[in-house]
């Protein structure tokens, strides 16, 4: 029986009718209930309150796939522990109870706080080093040991500190952390959109479809934002290429986010269009990746960055594979309802892939901080 068949107003009015029928003033009456252990409890409840409580309890019970309203029917291999048509308050509080979305909610909420922490860390501890004021602080060596980005800092300092500047290895302006921060903001938005969608999507069809669109826009944002650090730091010494690639990514990102927010985009008929759009966005990263290797084929740092990108690509590909094939729950429907199903694996792989990308961003920063661009 679907919980959507219950109507709050109808049940409440039944409660009022019963109260009047009893010939009472509508005040409280004594009721008696017995717990499973046989212990008797006494509570004062009006009929109306009882009816609402009963309705509320029934409405907010976990249901099976067959009892779901159409908009929540997606993966029939997940059989039980669904929430359907829950109120906002119950949906929100359900993050602390066990159902088949609990892990999805928490995996990306933890991911959000992970990237928020990395964002704050990056802003506070990783300023542009070609800046005399910052350099003075850096020379004290306080932060040096902590950051993998600055393992070769002494070399960078000796060639960039004013006075010791040798005129061949440093660029003339500070190396911006902006592209790195764009990626971290993109990752945070994606994680938060996903968390919200999984937590509150069970409220109603309208809420579900709205949050679904925001969730898709989060995926598009993460993909587009992921291009910024590798593309910017790879081509920063060649402004024409840099602007061309960044312009393409930004255009593609804006188009994908806008497309994700259009209602028709989330329909089943557009499932392949969605997959093709996200796939083509991701796969287009191969072009600047190999272009970079062509430009810097003698530089080991370029290869180190490339290996990292391949590693990240494998993780994302694995995520896409389990997402599309619905493995392992298709092998044993009902066994992975709470833990271990494909969407949960996909979530973990997205967080892992984004974290590997963050580590890759550090390699680029280290590369540019140490080597800069040759002055023409
Ligand atoms: Zn998800």
Cα(190) to ligand 1 centroid in Å equals 10
Using one digit for the tens of pLDDT, what is the confidence trace for 89-114? 999 999 999 999 999 999 999 999 99
DSSP element (H, E) containing 33: strand 29-34
Residue-by-residue DSSP string for 46-102: -HHHHHHHHHHHHHTS-B-GGGS-GGG---TT--S-B--S--HHHHHHGGGS-STTH
Q: How far is the CA of 107 from the centre of ligand 1 (A)?
A: 9
Cα 151 to ligand 1 centre (Å): 37
pLDDT tens digits along 334-360? 999 999 999 999 999 999 999 999 999
- CATH class label, 103-126+177-371: mainly alpha
Residue 347 labelled as part of a binding site: yes
User: Each residue of 59-88: pLDDT tens digit?
Assistant: 789 999 999 999 999 899 999 999 999 999
Omega of the bond prior to 34 within 30 degrees of 0, cis? no
Q: pTM for this one?
A: 0.74
Burial status of residue 79 (CB atoms within 10 A of its CB: 0-12, 13-18, 19 or more): middle
Q: What was the pLDDT predicted at 114?
A: 95
Taking the C-alpha atoms of residue 76 and residue 70, their distance in angstroms, rounded to an integer, is: 12
Give the environment of ion ligand 1: residues with CB less than 5 A: 194
Query: Among all chains, which residue has been given the structure tokens 């669109």?
Result: 213
Q: Which long-range contacts (CB under 8 A, 24 or more apart) does 137-141 make?
A: none
Distance 298 CA to ligand 1 centre (A): 41
Average pLDDT over residues 201-227: 93
- Tell me the β-bridge partners of 82: 63
The pLDDT of residue 275 is 79
DSSP strand pairing (40-45 vs 29-34)? antiparallel
Q: How far apart are CA 106 and CA 199, in angstroms?
A: 9
Express each pLDDT in 275-292 by its tens digit.
788 888 888 888 998 898
Closest by Cα among 345, 360, 348 to 111 = 348
- Ligand 1 centroid to 104 CA: how many Å? 6
The answer on whether 198 is annotated among ligand-binding residues is yes
Q: Ligand 1: distance of its center to the CA of 212 in Å? A: 9
Share of the chain above pLDDT 70, in %: 74
pLDDT at 146: 42
Ligand 1 center from residue 215 Cα (angstroms): 8
Most confident listed range (24-33, 100-109, 319-328, 361-370): 100-109
Residue 343 is assigned to a ligand binding site = yes
């Amino acid at each position: 029986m679907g919980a959507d068949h219950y109507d709050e107003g109808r049940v409440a009015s039944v409660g009022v009718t019963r109260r009047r029928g009893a010939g009472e003033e509508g005040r409280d009456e004594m009721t008696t209930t017995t717990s499973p252990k046989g212990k008797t409890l006494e509570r004062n409840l009006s009929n109306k309150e009882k009816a609402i409580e009963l309705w509320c309890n029934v409405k907010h019970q976990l249901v099976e796939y067959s009892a779901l309203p159409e908009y929540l029917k997606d993966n029939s291999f997940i059989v039980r522990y669904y929430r359907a048509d829950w109120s906002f308050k119950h949906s929100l509080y359900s993050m602390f109870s066990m159902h088949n979305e609990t892990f999805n909610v928490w995996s990306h909420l933890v991911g959000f706080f992970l990237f928020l922490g990395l964002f704050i860390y990056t802003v506070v501890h990783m300023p542009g080093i070609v800046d005399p004021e910052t350099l003075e602080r850096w020379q004290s060596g306080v932060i040096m040991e902590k950051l993998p980005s600055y393992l070769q800092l002494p070399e960078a300092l000796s060639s960039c500190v004013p006075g010791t500047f040798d005129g061949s290895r440093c660029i003339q302006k500070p190396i911006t952390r902006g592209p790195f921060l764009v990626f971290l903001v993109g990752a945070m938005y994606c994680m938060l959109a996903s968390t919200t969608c999984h937590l509150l999507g069970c409220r109603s069809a309208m809420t579900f479809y709205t949050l679904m669109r925001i969730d898709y826009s989060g995926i598009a944002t993460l993909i587009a934002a992921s291009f910024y650090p590798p593309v910017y730091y790879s081509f920063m010494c060649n402004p024409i290429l840099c602007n061309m690639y960044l312009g393409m990514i930004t255009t593609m990102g804006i188009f994908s986010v806008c497309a994700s927010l259009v209602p028709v985009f989330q329909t089943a008929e557009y499932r392949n269009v969605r997959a093709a759009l996200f796939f083509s966005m991701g796969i287009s990263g191969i072009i600047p990746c190999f272009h970079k290797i062509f430009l810097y084929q003698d530089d080991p740092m370029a290869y180190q960055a490339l290996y990292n990108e391949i590693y990240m690509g494998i993780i994302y590909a694995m995520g896409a594979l389990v997402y599309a094939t619905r493995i392992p729950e298709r092998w044993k429907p009902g066994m992975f309802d709470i833990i271990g199903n494909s969407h949960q694996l996909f979530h973990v792989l997205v967080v892992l892939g984004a974290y590997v990308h963050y580590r890759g961003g550090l390699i680029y920063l280290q590369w540019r901080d140490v080597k800069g661009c040759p002055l023409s």
